Structure 1
Amino acid sequence: MEPRARAGKNVGKETFNRKEVSSLLYAYGDVEEPLPDTIRVLDEIVTEFLDGVCFEASRHAQVAGRQKLKFDDFEFALRRNPQYLGRVRSMIEKRQEIKEARQGFNEDETAVAKDHAKDTAPATAAASRDDDLNDLDEDEDLDYLNVVSSSKGTGSKKRKKAPK
């Protein structure tokens, strides 16, 4: 469906949040509380623009034989406006930089975690064994463990109690 035919569907309906649109207008120099008609018109303009760009991008993807959109499709749709095209390209570059930084960060974090695990593993295991042994009140806890473990079974075999 052509973008012009689709634009008729959205007339009177707001796509974006009124508060966000009024904040955007205020950021660009409008009054703090803009007129409702101003918000409605800006909403329609932005919606129509985004519909047109997405339609062109989807048409390019369809011609290329793909069902999913890529950034290249949006570059193609915005090729006639150098300002928009430059902004999209800078966003793609930043996205790639962030992706590489995250990948490097995850690799560094994994290496640090492995080194830390190697350094602390023997000490941690020994400390946990000592804590477990210190926590046992020898006679009472061992008797309790023997009673509990014998009651869980089928009842045919009784376990020996620990010597006192």
Structure 2
Amino acid sequence: MEPRARAGKNVGKETFNRKEVSSLLYAYGDVEDPLPDTMRVLDEIVTEFLDGICFEASRHAQVAGRQKLKFDDFEFALRRNPQYLGRVRSMIEKRQEIKEARQGFNEDETAVAKDAAKDAAAPTTSGTARDDALDDLDEDEDLEYLNSAVPTKGTSSKKRKKAPK
């Protein structure tokens, strides 16, 4: 369907949020509370522009034998306007950088997880982790600390000895 025919369906209906259109107009020098007609006209212009670009991109995708749109299709649709084309190309580059950064992050995370799994699966030489911890303790003081920190049956939490600092 031709984009102009499609645009006829939405005549009188606003596509974008009034607050967003108002903020856009204010950012470009209009008053803080623009006229409703101004906002309606801007909404129609932007909607028609986006419909036209999407129509051209979908037409290019059809000719290429695809049902889904790609960035290349939009690049083709905007080929006559160097400002828009430059913006689309910069968006494509940023998207690629983000994709590569995510992939690198996921690879790093996977490597860390594999190393942790290997460490957990490796058997210890002296037996258990508790035995390893006890080997490192100073004889009497640290054993007293461990025994006082573990509550025994029948003692309340108020009666437990606090560990020396």
Distance 1:78 1:46 in 2: 15
Q: Tell me which residue corresponds to 1:84.
A: 84
Moved more, 28-37 or 9-18: 28-37
Within 5 Å, give how 1:127-146 maps onto structure 2: none
**Residue in structure 2 matched with residue 8 of structure 1 by the alignment:** 8
Amino acid at match of 1:7: A
- Structure 1's 72 and 33: CA in aligned 2 closer, same or farther, altered over 3 A? same
**2:109 is the counterpart of 1:115:** no
| Rounded Cα–Cα distance in structure 2 between residues aligned with 1:10 and 1:19 | 19
Question: For 1:31-86, what per-residue CA distance to the aligned partner results, in whole angstroms no more than 9, with x for missing partners?
Answer: 21111111111110000000000000111111111111111111111111111011
- Report deviation, 1:105: 1.0
Residues of 1 paired with 2:23 and 2:102: CA distance? 32
How far the C-alpha of 1:135 sits from its partner, in A, is: 8.9
Identify the residue that residue 101 of structure 1 maps to in structure 2: 101
**Equivalent residue number for residue 25 of structure 1:** 25
Query: What TM-score do you get using the length of structure 2 for normalisation?
Result: 0.70
CA deviation digits over 1:87-115, x for unaligned, max 9? 00010000000000111111112222333
Q: Which amino acid aligns with 1:27?
A: A
| Paired amino acid for 1:57 | A
Once residues 20 and 151 of structure 2 are traced to their aligned partners in structure 1, the CA distance between those partners, rounded to angstroms, is: 59
| Alpha-carbon distance, 1:116 to partner | 3.9
Q: Equivalent residue for 2:45?
A: 45
Q: Going by fraction, where is helix more abundant, 1 or 2?
A: 1
Distance (whole Å) between structure 2 residues aligned to residue 136 and residue 48 of structure 1: 77
**CA RMSD across the alignment:** 2.4
Give the letter aligned to residue 83 of structure 1: Q
- Please report how far the alpha carbon of residue 4 of structure 1 lies from its aligned counterpart in structure 2 after TM superposition: 1.2
Counterpart Cα distance in 2 of 1:16 and 1:38: 13
| SS of equivalent residue, structure 2 residue 16 | coil
For residues 98-139 of structure 1, give each alpha carbon's deviation from its aligned partner in whole angstroms, at most 9, with x where no partner exists. 00011111111222233344456779x846xxxxxx8997xx
State, as a whole percentage, how many aligned pairs show the same letter: 91
Q: Distance in 1 between matches of 2:116 and 2:28?
A: 50
CA positional deviation for 1:11: 1.0
- Aligned partners of 1:45, 1:61: CA distance in 2, in Å? 24
